Every structure is written in structure tokens, then in C-alpha cells.
Amino acid sequence: MTPSHPPTSRTDLPHAARVVVKVGSTSLTGPDGRLDMAALRALVTVLAQARARGQQVVLVSSGAIAAGIGPLGLAAKPRDLATAQATASVGQGLLMAQYSAAFAEHGLGAAQVLLTADDVMRRRHYANAHRALERLLTLGVVPVVNENDTVATDEIRFGDNDRLAALTSHLVRADALVLLTDVDGLYDGPPSRAGSRLIPDVRSPADLAGIEVTGRGSALGTGGMLTKVQAAQMATANGTAVLLTSARRAGEALAGAEVGTFFTATGRRSPARRLWLAHAAEIRGRLQLDAGAAHAVTSGKRSLLAAGITAVDGDFEAGDVVELFGPSGLVARGVSAYSSRDLPAMLGRSSDELRAAAHPDEPVRPVVHRDDLAPMGTEQ
Ligand SMILES: Nc1ncnc2c1ncn2[C@@H]1O[C@H](COP(=O)(O)OP(=O)(O)O)[C@@H](O)[C@H]1O
Ligand SMILES: N[C@@H](CCC(=O)OP(=O)(O)O)C(=O)O
């Protein structure tokens, strides 16, 4: 197999050693909202061709909720969490049965892999998921990944499979990520608006300036174009090239044709936790830092101590993600070890003062440990 490196252009894509392909609900369902078997089988044929070329393939497939709507007699995609969870657990089994049958026609095995946000955020879970996926790939099986919708709670869920696909690309160290949807690429405005034009290449985040993307998906889709662009940025910043196009063009895309929008890989892999913090985590509050603290967390990559915090905003618990602002703007995101109720009494106090005031059994921790920090913004 070709040595692993991100493709630098579309023509390189058929030579990428390991590819993650993500397909959205809208591309797998017909107008009646039911699974479109022909679309599913056509996609599997394309993935089997990639396998025949010697590429390893991981499929991230939405469609569990869509597949559950018909059998449960529902009129539309459920809005409340409990019904969405129930619908996904009915649909996921049906979806997977179709994939297993379709891959078997090409002599390929398929494996269901259901992930939650914890599986990429927590170090031990991450190592576990990584090991299982590696073994599946070396066994020649095609992993079919979806979010574990039945157990994912509102607080800790990806909610959209685009960012799950970017994190899966990190998990398997993919060279390329192919995002398949119902439009043929990224446009500079909503594709339904007359005059919107396809953007063929995105070479750096600056190329995205001025582009209008909406977070609203179609009736069955979830994140719209916004989560796809976020996923593309997560993946490219971590050394994975991205091609965004329509599911109808999956065959051409994987064969290296001039279709869709190609996002060049811009960065190198960072730890998964940092990736999550920087791009996917929900922000619950904000800490204002003095200049010294802002410099310490960005340049020195040091833990944030209470002494350098001047103000606390928001309502958050210990373990929630907060944004850290220096005198000239956003500098980092991090996991706060203290709640917004406990922090105000600690501000500006040195660790020695806090230790003297604390209960002897209670260790004084940094407010944000350096392992839980993702530098962002300009003061890096
Ligand atoms: N700038 C844009 N370029 C392309 N598509 C866009 C843009 N802004 C919004 N969209 C919409 O995003 C939709 C795709 O998102 P979504 O429905 O969530 O798909 P999926 O089910 O494949 O995840 C497209 O149908 C399109 O109408
Ligand atoms: N996990 C959900 C997918 C949610 C989702 O992201 O959908 P989509 O926007 O169509 O990729 C399901 O299988 O229904």
C-alpha cells in the first residue's frame, strides 16, 4: 500500500491509503422519508471499488432516525430526544442489516461501530475505539460508524455526523475524508439562491471568508452546511484532506474526478481532546484573564491558575468547557475544574493563599489544567 499521506489534490484521492466516507440522511432516503435501497447499494458499490483499489475504507453513515420513521408509523423526524433515541434504535438495526447485505454482495464484511462523544474525549475510551477500528481494518472489514443515538444525552452528543466523521478521521488517522451530501459542493451562498457559485478549492481558512453557510439542514439532515464546513476545518487542521460533494458523485469523487470542493490539509495531528475542545465542545462560560495569564496559557502552554483570572461569566459546572479571553480577545478554550459558583471567591488569589484557606483534604487544582487547554485566536 502507498505510504500514508494526505492527498494534495483530487487526482491523489484514489491513492490515499485510508479514507473515511460520510453519508448524510438526505442522501440515503427517498422523498417518502424511507431508506432508499438503490442509493445505499450504489454507495456500497463505490466503496467496494475503493477497496478493490487497495484502499482501506471507514463509512460514517447517518440514516438511523430516517430508517426508523416508517416502521414506527411516524409522520416526520421526531423533535424530542426520547422519541429520536427510540426511532434511532429501531432504524439503526434496519440500516445495518441493509449495509451487511449490500457489502456481502461484494464479498466484503461490514461491522457496526456506535460511538458517543466520550469515546473520543476520554483518553481510555479513545484508545479502545482506536484499537477496535484498527483491528477491523486489518481484518479487511468495513466499519460502519454512527453516533450511539440511543444512549447519547443532549449534553454530550455530537448531534450531527459531520463532526463525528472528522473525529473518526482523527481516530483512524485517515488521509482523506469524503463528505457526501445532497449538494455537489460548497457554494458561496445558499445553493437555492440564484447566482450562488460552487467553490472548487479551499486552501486555507481565509478562503472561507465571506461565504454564507446555514446551519439548517433539510427535513431529514441535521447540521446543514455549517457542520460540514466545521468538520472540514477540524479534519484539515489535523492533517486530513477533505472532499465535499454529492452522494450521486461518490464514484467520480473517489476515482479522483474534478468534482465538489477540495479542502487541502493544512495542519498536523493534535491530541483528540484538543481537537474536540477547539472545534466541537459546547461553551458554557467565559473567563477573563490578565495579560500574564493569557501569555502563560498560550505561549507557555501552562495551566491557568486562579491568580490570573479577573472575571467569570456564565453558569457552568466543574468539567464544563469555557472560553478564556485575554486583554485583546479570545486566547483559548479549556475545561474548568471549578464551577461558576465556586470561582468568584478564588479570583486573583495565589495557590498558597487558596491552599491555606482550603480544607486539608481538598487539593487546590489549577482552574484549567494544561492538558485540558486548546489555544485559539491571535495571542498564540
Ligand atoms: N453555502 C452553502 N453551500 C452548499 N450548501 C448549503 C450552503 N448553505 C446551506 N446549504 C444547505 O446544506 C444542505 C446540506 O445539509 P444537510 O441537509 O444537513 O445534509 P446531510 O443530510 O447530507 O448532512 C444542502 O441541501 C444545502 O441546501
Ligand atoms: N445519528 C443520526 C444522524 C444525525 C445526522 O447527522 O444526520 P445528517 O445531517 O443527515 O448527517 C442518525 O443516524 O439518524
In this structure, is residue 305 part of a structural domain?
yes
Do 98 and 141 sit in the same domain of this protein? yes
Do 286 and 269 sit in the same domain of this protein? no
> Which tens digit of pLDDT belongs to each residue from 264-292?
999 887 777 777 777 766 788 999 999 99
Do 26 and 98 sit in the same domain of this protein? yes
Q: Is the model's pLDDT at 379 over the cut of 60?
A: no
> Which tens digit of pLDDT belongs to each residue from 225-246?
888 998 999 899 989 999 999 9
In this structure, is residue 1 part of a structural domain?
no
Q: Is the model's pLDDT at 1 over the cut of 60?
A: no
Ligand 2 closest atom vs CA 161: 6
Do 254 and 291 sit in the same domain of this protein? no
From 147, 154, 180, 218, give the residue whose CB has the most ligand 2 atoms within 8 Å, as the site to mutate: 147
**pLDDT of res. 3:** 47
The phi and psi torsions of 375 (rounded to 5 degrees) equal -60, 140
Output the nine-digit C-alpha cell for 308.
Answer: 490570573
Compute the distance from residue 130 Cα to the ligand 2 centre, in Å.
Answer: 22
- Of 72, 79, 153, 88, whose CA–CA distance to 116 is shortest? 153
Q: pTM score, two decimals?
A: 0.82
Strand order across the 261-263 sheet: 110-115, 142-147, 56-61, 18-23, 176-181, 241-246, 261-263, 201-202
In this structure, is residue 3 part of a structural domain?
no
Instruction: Give the domain extent around 161.
Output: 10-275
| Tally of structural domains, the chain | 2
From 60, 179, 225, give the residue whose CB has the most ligand 1 atoms within 8 Å, as the site to mutate: 225
What pLDDT band is residue 350 in, cutting at 50, 70 and 90?
A: confident
Supply the CATH number for residue 329's domain.
2.30.130.10
> Which tens digit of pLDDT belongs to each residue from 6-33?
999 999 999 999 999 999 998 998 877 7
In this structure, is residue 2 part of a structural domain?
no
Averaged pLDDT for residues 180-189: 94
